[in-house]
A and B are shown apart, each in its own frame.
Chain A
Amino acid sequence: MSDALVQARDLRKRFGAFEAVRGIDVDVARGEVFGFLGPNGAGKSSTMRMIACVSPRSGGSLQVLGMDPGSDGPRIRARIGVVPQLDNLDTELSVRENLEIYGRYFGLSRRRVRAKAAELLEFAQLTERAEDPVEPLSGGMKRRLTIARSLVNDPELLLLDEPTTGLDPQARHLLWDRLYRLKREGVTQIVTTHYMDEAEQLCDRLVVMDDGLIVAEGSPVELIERYSTREVLELRFLPEHRPAAGELAGLVERVEELPDRFLLYTADGERAQAEVARSGLRPLSALVRRSSLEDVFLRLTGRSLVD
């Protein structure tokens, strides 16, 4: 058995005439947290569904846990956990029943699911809400319950599709903490996200997807080093003072023009700011920050990630 838990070669997914995934190669090693980063419609969710064995591939090869999703779907699904993009908790059941019944779908014994549910309620900090219905729970609680549910079969591989979309900052941090704990326990994770900070926080390694293709691959630090500068100077102007992009181009390595601001890529942001001032431009505000994956994405695709 190869060391890769997931191995895809020239993997493709077509819906009618539209090709959502256009031939990607992916290797996910045991124990790592692997990310698919890209805007909505990049092909991340389609790829996840193929790995989860609920969407037949249209071309190429795919191995999950050394098996073929096309013929071994149930065997693979028995050993993975899935956190879907939208919560699909069973609203007719209580919090605890959601965990117990779900465990029964995996063929676990009554005794086993009862013990496991208690353990997972602790993990998700939902023990006090165990007997409540699901619907009144907050978004963060529902998300934690969905993650707890995906762990009921002690999966070797956990698939998380947009795990923190729509959550407030506090709930996101709590969730990231839980995912970090799982990583330390050795659970391999595949995460899709369109949040840069989430990818930087969670992923050991990631691929950037755009339009059904992988456009870059590496660790967050590697990607930033390869595709961006150390620092970025962000400038905003009043409409009447806004210069043409060409006026800024000579000052730094590279300039990106966005609807509301300019991004100036440079190794030394402070110095660039001084030069802007010297050239007589009058920005409304100026901010120096470190480069992030957002900048990598902008560089690779010419588009902003979150619209």
Chain B
Amino acid sequence: MAEVTAAVVPAPSASGRVPGRAGGIGIVVEHHWRWYRRNWRATVVSSVLQPLLFLLAFGVGFGALVSGSGRVEVATGGVGYLVWLAPALLAMSAVQSAAFESTYPVLSGFKWQRVYHAMAAGPLSAAQIGLGHLTWIALKMFASGAVYVIVIAVFGGVTGPGVAVSLVAATFTGTAVAALVMAFAATVENEGSAFTGLFRFVVIPMTLFSGTFFPVDRLPAVVRPLAWVSPLWHGTELARSAALGRWQPLAAAGHVAFLLVLLVIGAVLVARQFRRRLTP
């Protein structure tokens, strides 16, 4: 064997740095934004068109069926069905897209595309990766909600500037739901029936029984307590009182407190589950 003569060069110095707590979350958000810029068309159907169809079917179509009967005015407290329904649909579509965005995409991050693992190989912490994704979902919900508000206005469902508060309330509700669902999705190894069960047994009943389409008091008394634990009911109450200008300070404080507790629990669980899964 010949002699080995290695050339002497200076050792390379690494340029990587550890980001701060919020900075890391910002980096994760930026990652999702870059992906979204190329693929935003894929989400137009679910985030804008789907709520629009619900608005047309129930606000306009069903609204025409029931208008003038006197029954609706009793239920809505005097406003038209479309005006009464619109802010609730804003909350409902936020919760629906929150549930969707924090199930399959999260499992994909761990399992199929493994984006989270790629991020975790760098200096980002597991909690930053999870909470960054949650922040991104919240921002996106807010943006598509804003588009939806314009659509509602076009159909005559907006009566005043209070709808801006409805948008914030809807996004807040959606984020609380997204956090809880994301923490659950982080424990799922195999989609199997977990997500189908979640959608059919939790998300769909929640959208049907949370006072979106009709007041909760129209349900049998035994079922009504279900609405009280439903985050969507609290969000719907907030969004609706903001849009219609019917504030009841104590009730509103209660709704906000309930959603805030869910959001904090969700965020803590997200950080914990992401840590467990990414740093075993």
A/B touching: CB–CB < 8 A = yes
B residues less than 8 Å from A284 (CB atoms): 2, 4-5
B8 within 8 A of A: no
B7 touching A286 by the CB < 8 A rule?
A: no
Number of interface residues of B (CB under 8 A): 7
Of residues 227 to 260 in A, which have CB atoms within 8 Å of B's CB atoms?
Answer: 238
Cα of A2 to Cα of B2 in the assembled complex, Å: 57
Instruction: Tell me which residues from 191 to 243 in chain B have a Cβ below 8 Å from any Cβ of chain A.
Output: none
Q: Smallest distance from the beta carbon of B192 to chain A beta carbons, Å?
A: 8
Check: B1 CB closer than 8 A to any chain A CB.
yes
Q: Does A283 touch B at the CB level, under 8 Å?
A: yes
Whether B2 and A283, one on each chain, are in contact in the complex, defined by CB atoms closer than 8 angstroms, is yes
B190, CB-defined interface residue at 8 Å: yes
Q: Mark B1-21, 1 if CB is under 8 A from A, else 0.
A: 110110100000000000000
Which residues of chain B are near A283, meaning CB under 8 Å?
Answer: 2
Contact A285 B1 (CB under 8 A): yes
A133 at the interface (CB under 8 A from B): yes
Q: Judge whether A282 is part of the interface by a CB distance below 8 angstroms.
A: yes
Chain B residues contacting A282 (CB-CB under 8 Å) are 2
The count of chain A contact residues (Cβ–Cβ below 8 Å) is: 10
B7 in complex: contacting residue of A133, A238, A285, CB < 8 Å:
A238
Closest to B2 in A: A283
A220 to chain B minimum Cβ distance, whole angstroms, is 29
Contact B1 A135 (CB under 8 A): no
Q: Which of chain B's residues has its CB closest to A92's CB?
A: B192
A252 to B252, CA, bound (A): 90
Tell me the chain A residues, 82-141 only, with Cβ under 8 Å from chain B: 133, 135-136
Contacts of A286 in B (CB 8 A): 1-2
What is the bound-complex CA distance between A306 and B152, given in angstroms? 60
Shortest Cβ distance from residue B63 to the other chain A in the assembled complex, whole angstroms:
44
A282 and B5 CA atoms in complex are apart in Å by 10
> How many Å lie between the Cα of A26 and that of B192 in the bound state?
45
Shortest Cβ distance from A281 into B: residue = B2
- CA–CA, A277 to B189, complex, Å? 60
CA distance A283 to B2 in the complex (A): 6
Contacts of B2 in A (CB 8 A): 277, 282-286
Nearest B residue to A240, CB-CB: B7
Chain B residue at minimal CB-CB distance from A236: B2
Within 8 A of B (CB), among A273-292: 277, 282-286
Specify which chain A residues have a CB less than 8 angstroms from the CB of B190 in the assembled complex. Answer: 133, 135
Q: What residue in chain B is nearest A136 (Cβ atoms)?
A: B189
CA distance A282 to B4 in the complex (A): 10
Contacts of B189 in A (CB 8 A): 136
Chain A residues with CB below 8 A from B1, complex form: 285-286
Report the minimal beta-carbon distance from B98 to chain A, rounded to whole angstroms: 28
Alpha-carbon gap, A136 to B111, bound state (A):
12
Contacts of A135 in B (CB 8 A): 190
Distance of B197 from chain A, by nearest CB (Å)? 16
User: Which A residues lie within 8 Å of B5 (CB)?
Assistant: 238, 284
Tell me the complex Cα distance, A279–B121, Å.
49
Give Cα distance in the complex from A286 to B4, angstroms: 11
Measured CA separation A166–B1 after assembly (Å):
33
Most chain-A Cβ atoms within 10 A of its Cβ — which of B2, B4, B7? B2
Other than the known A135-B190, A238-B7, A284-B2, what 13 A-B pairs have Cβ atoms closer than 8 Å?
A133-B190, A136-B189, A238-B5, A277-B2, A282-B2, A283-B2, A284-B4, A284-B5, A285-B1, A285-B2, A285-B4, A286-B1, A286-B2
Binding site for B on A (CB under 8 A): 133, 135-136, 238, 277, 282-286
